[in-house]
């Protein structure tokens, strides 16, 4: 194994060209995978940019692994200062792991990430997060027969990622689950229907007010941070992060896909439905140029489909219920 590791060169991502190659690499792993959807380069580049408010509280480093001059893997390691404030300074994170089916490549990549995290004072490592739990989280181990939905866990090769990572001594921290469903599949028991009728009498459900969009986003942030504070790995959204996310939602999500629930005129819950952007960009090959912009805008704003903006499916992107008075509940149907 030592000889094999000597053939693998680990390089830090230090400039724009390095970052471009880092972002582009996963597409080389999936040329024959019908469910692989190349992410938009411009979005990934912005995500990893210092201009992204999500990186304001994250210190991170990225690496690529090379064999014979060709990139064969990538990884990030990061320290989230908000996570440290909440859980202590002993945990760091890894993310954006992609590599060929070679245990030595995985060993070399994780060796670099672990050494860097140790230099930052971390004695534990968890992940993958790209770059923290409020962004892409988890390692896909089932569900490879469907395309990835935007902003969920990354699409990974089923037959080697988990095996090679576990071989390095890692084990599952928690299950992250997602479900596909049709609205027509929703059924409610008589008891639940009765409860919903009772709840509706004191709960007001309204769409977001775009005339007060910044104020509304602040309300959503407060509900989210309050409602999720006891969840595994929770890290609060900063005001800057949520405002920036709101600026993005403003152009992607119709008014009737963001709802706020109120009890006694006080906001207490919300749900945001997101069009599946991956469905809209599937044939753009990661690029908006020269005509990708026009296609994306047409699909999101003009070619409106029945279920979700202008894509055939979508996801409940953010859902939160604020801890409230004993006995109170909210049903958003």
pTM for this entry: 0.82
* Architecture of domain 2-167 in this structure: 3-Layer(aba) Sandwich (3.40)
CATH number of 183-276+313-321: 3.40.630.30
pLDDT of residue 314: 47
For 317, other C-beta atoms within 10 Å of its C-beta total 20
Higher pLDDT residue, 257 or 65? 65
Q: Judge contact between 63 and 10, C-beta under 8 A.
A: yes
pLDDT of residue 264: 86
Across 21-57, b (16+ Cβ under 10 Å) vs e yields ebbebbbebbeeeeebbbbbbebbeebbeeebbbbeb
pLDDT tens per residue, range 274-295: 766 656 555 445 444 433 344 4
Q: Is the pLDDT of residue 106 over 70?
A: yes
Q: Where are the domains of the chain?
A: 2-167, 183-276+313-321
At 235 the three-state DSSP class reads coil
Q: Is the pLDDT of residue 296 over 80?
A: no
Q: In what order do the strands lie in the sheet with 9-12?
A: 9-12, 58-67, 70-80, 91-99, 124-126
Q: Is the pLDDT of residue 148 over 60?
A: yes
pLDDT tens per residue, range 209-260: 988 999 999 999 999 999 999 999 999 999 999 888 888 777 777 777 889 9
Let me know if the fold of 2-167 is the same as that of 183-276+313-321: yes
C-alpha span between 60 and 321 (Å, rounded): 32
What tokens were used for 279? 């469905």
Q: Considering the chain, what percentage of its residues have pLDDT values greater than 90? A: 45
């Amino acid at each position: 194994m030592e000889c094999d590791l000597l053939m693998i060169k680990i390089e830090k991502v230090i400039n724009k060209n390095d970052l471009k190659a880092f972002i582009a690499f996963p597409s080389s792993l999936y040329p024959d995978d019908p469910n692989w959807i190349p992410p938009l380069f411009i979005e990934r580049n912005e995500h990893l940019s210092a201009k992204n408010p999500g990186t304001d509280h994250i210190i991170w480093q990225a690496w690529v692994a090379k064999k014979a001059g060709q990139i064969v893997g990538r990884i990030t390691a990061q320290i989230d200062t908000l996570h440290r404030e909440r859980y202590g300074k002993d945990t760091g994170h890894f993310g954006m792991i992609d590599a060929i089916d070679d245990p030595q490549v995985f060993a070399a990549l994780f060796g670099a990430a672990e050494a860097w995290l140790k230099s930052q004072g971390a004695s534990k490592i968890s992940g993958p997060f790209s770059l923290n739990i409020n962004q892409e989280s988890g390692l896909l181990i089932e569900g490879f027969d469907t395309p990835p939905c935007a902003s969920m866990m990354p699409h990974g090769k089923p037959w080697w990622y988990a095996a090679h990572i576990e071989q390095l001594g890692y084990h599952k921290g928690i299950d992250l689950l997602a479900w596909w469903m049709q609205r027509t599949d929703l059924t409610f028991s008589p008891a639940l229907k009765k409860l919903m009728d009772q709840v509706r009498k004191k709960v007001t459900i309204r769409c977001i007010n775009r005339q007060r969009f910044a104020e509304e986003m602040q309300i959503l942030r407060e509900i989210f941070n309050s409602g999720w504070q006891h969840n595994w790995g929770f890290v609060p959204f900063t005001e800057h992060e949520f405002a920036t996310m709101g600026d993005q939602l403003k152009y992607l999500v119709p008014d009737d896909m963001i709802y706020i629930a109120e009890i006694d005129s006080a906001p207490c819950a919300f749900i945001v439905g997101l069009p599946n952007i991956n469905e809209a960009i599937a044939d753009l090959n990661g690029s908006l140029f020269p005509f990708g912009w026009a296609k994306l805008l047409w699909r999101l704003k003009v070619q409106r489909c029945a279920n979700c903006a202008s894509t055939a499916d979508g996801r409940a992107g953010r859902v939160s219920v604020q801890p409230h008075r004993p006995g109170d509940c909210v049903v958003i149907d």
